A and B are shown apart, each in its own frame.
Chain A
Amino acid sequence: MNCITVPLYRAAHGRTGDKGDRSNISVIAWHPELFPLLVEQVTPEAVAARFRHRSPSCVQRFVLPRLQAMNFVLDAVLDGGVNDALNLDAHGKALSFLLLEMPIDVPDHLQHLLAGAPGSR
């Protein structure tokens, strides 16, 4: 099976939320047929690797098939959270975009379901 590698944002969208030093990031498939691909490739281990420089103490994944969504909960990635961190973005509002640039492999027959044009930003 032929695949192309694309950034996750072409297959999914998402949003970051924070409570204390804990960040949650949703990953929501653009199309139901893309969802199994996300479950297979966007694993807790892959997400932990993507946030390695922030040393998460724990990465949990919750799978929501009826919403074609996953919810990732990352502990201790906000340098203490909104009251303690020195980051301009102490909430970690931007972190969904760090995850959504993760490369994923998409087989040929699903490529027409991807968002954005090939080669687009």
Chain B
Amino acid sequence: MTSFAPCPLLIGCAAGFSGDRTDAAGPVVDTLIERLAQGPCGQRAFLIFETLAERTLALAQLRRRADPEAGYEPLLDAMLRPVLARCLLHGIRIVSNFGAANPRAAARHIARMARELGAPVPRIAVVEGDDLSSPEQRALLREQLGAKMDGLAVVSANAYIGAEPIAAALDAGAQIVVCGRVADPSLTVGPAMSHFGWRANDWTVLGRATMAGHLLECGAQVCGGYFADPGYKDVPGLDRVGFPIAEIEADGRCTICKADGTGGLVTESTVKEQLLYEVHDPAAYLTPDVTADIAEAEVAAQGVDRVRLTGVRGHARPSSYKVNVCYEGGWLAEGEISYAGARAEARARLAADVLQSRLPGLALRVDLIGALSLFNDDAGHALAATPDSGMRDVRLRVAATHADRAQAERLGREVMALYTCGPAGGGGVRSTLTPRLNTLSCLLAREAVPVRFEMVAP
């Protein structure tokens, strides 16, 4: 007996964060075009870009305040221009959260880009509803967060919304879907829902597609990026590491591979590391679409750079959306100075003592780069417990925050003064002062967050 097996949906990922490599998309798109040419009639492909982290949206909101036409991914043009015309020509549709704080302006930019490239202007949809700016929504957030929200200079408040409006936009014929704060895996779940006609309560398939999206959403991280460790985890061609492509089947199961002709590797080890990345309870990975469950998941290599994921389950989605509120968090001051040669560590420690005495009112973090820094802690417990190890090339780093800019600025001046007033042989002073953004999280009932899509071009 032969059974009818619809061909898998291809979803390539060309960015895992804002600031990712802008030459990543080319090989992914080339590979998708090749697969479509060789694959069965009716095969479809999507390209996704994931460009939002916890703070990215607040930074975008600040840019939008300064310029009403800004506030979307600053690298949008650099990421999309190299592949836009080819995607449109070959029917590869694009879904991304690169709209950030201004999806409509991003859509206008893309339409302009298409015209400049001589391509037909695509049907572009924007997804909205994540931005919780209305007075009614702010009042609801105040109810959830309580008094700790009072007095905060709120920069942005966004709900992590899900795949349904993406799928609806695709069903309506959108070739490009521009979102703001949607949950990262929803960029994959939306196309799969639309393509396979899944319902919003098909928990098993949604759970499986969510974990496919989870493997894709950090770009190269499933293909050998954030993995290499010489002698233990060797990665060929890390300088041109490939970005991933998922083949998603009609039942949601997926196989992860990567763009042809690129470096990196896809193995059971790379997939396991990414599968657990930023996961807490593996039986309850919460997204706006589903509660995905990888407690019984398995991975199996299927040849070179191909790994299949099975055993993922799905349960009903949470009844609330997760919301991140970003607010102005005062000023971050950082300063550094280096010491080298005999007793370098002792001189760096002495410089730190001088700064501590000279900067009352600032809670200083002290790091000795080269001896103890990343494994240190803000309170300095680890440093206090670590005797002088005699390191001969040490960079002292101090950091502090203060609500008042003038107070924070004292740090940079005192580090500078170490040139003449500090221990012997200090060199290479650098200091920075940057405005901080802090976040609070809460939950908000789905009913309070109406989501929608709108076709905005042509």
Contacts and interface: CB of A to CB of B under 8 A. Distances in A.
B276 A88 contact: no
A15 B382 contact: no
Contact of B231 (A67, A81, A83, A121): A121
Given A9-B232, A19-B278, A82-B55, A26 B272 contact: yes
A115 B280 CA distance: 27
Contacts of A71: 276, 279-280, 282
B321 to A, nearest CB: 15
Contact of A116 (B231, B275, B299, B439): B231
A88 B377 CA distance: 10
Interface residues of B, number: 53
B385 interface: yes
Interface stretch (B1-9, B66-74, B135-143, B289-297): B289-297
Contact of B54 (A54, A66, A82): A82
B22 interface: no
Interface string B238-260: 00000000000000000000000
Contact of B273 (A13, A60, A88): A13
Interface string A37-66: 000000000000000011100001010101
Contacts of B400: 86
A80 B377 CA distance: 11
- In this complex, the interface size class of chain A, counting residues with CB under 8 Å from chain B, is 35 or more
B399 interface: yes
Interface string A1-37: 0000000010001110111101010101000000000
Interface of B: 54-55, 226-227, 229, 231-233, 269, 272-283, 294-299, 311, 326, 329, 332, 365, 367, 369, 373-379, 381-382, 385, 397, 399-401, 436-439, 441
5 contacts: A18-B278, A53-B385, A83-B54, A88-B373, A88-B397
- Can you list the 7 inter-chain pairs with the closest CB atoms, starting with the nearest? A17-B278, A86-B365, A26-B276, A86-B399, A15-B273, A79-B378, A53-B381
Given A86-B332, A86-B400, 19 more contacts: A14-B273, A15-B227, A19-B280, A24-B279, A24-B280, A53-B381, A55-B381, A64-B276, A66-B298, A66-B311, A67-B297, A79-B379, A82-B55, A83-B436, A86-B378, A87-B377, A87-B378, A94-B374, A116-B231
